[in-house]
Amino acid sequence: MKTKLALILSLALTPAAFADEMKGMEMKQSMPMGEMKMEQNDTTTKTAKATGTVRKINQEKGTVTIAHGAVPALDWPPMTMGFKATAEQLEQLNEGDEIEFEFTSKGMSSSITSLKQL
């Protein structure tokens, strides 16, 4: 009797456990490769160049949001993201400006090192 009860409980609980495991696998499989690379804890500083359009300037935080094209040097697809910038760099910019810029990237932090208007 105990064996039958244990078997019934095992069979009843197996689908739920299997469903949870599959849900986790589906999430991992649906994540684009570019996003997975962005999550890596890369501690090396890399330098790259890109062109893009200034979307937002935040003087208080010292950041600029740029919609930029692909960055082959870092294997990045086109995206919109924030970059750290100096107050002097931010003063040169207006929303909508087309720019070419060089930046350093370390993990999830990117800082503009130079820029020019196109």
How many angstroms separate the Cα of 8 from the Cα of each of 1, 12, 114? 11, 6, 67
The whole-angstrom separation of Cα 100 and Cα 84 is: 15
CATH class, range 41-117? mainly beta
Per-residue pLDDT, averaged over 67-91, amounts to: 97
13-29 residue pLDDT tens: 555 554 555 444 444 44
Tokens 């499989």 map to which residue? 29
What are the helix (H) ranges across the chain?
Answer: 2-30, 33-39, 87-91
The whole-angstrom separation of Cα 65 and Cα 25 is: 33
Per-residue pLDDT, averaged over 38-54, amounts to: 82
pTM summary value: 0.65
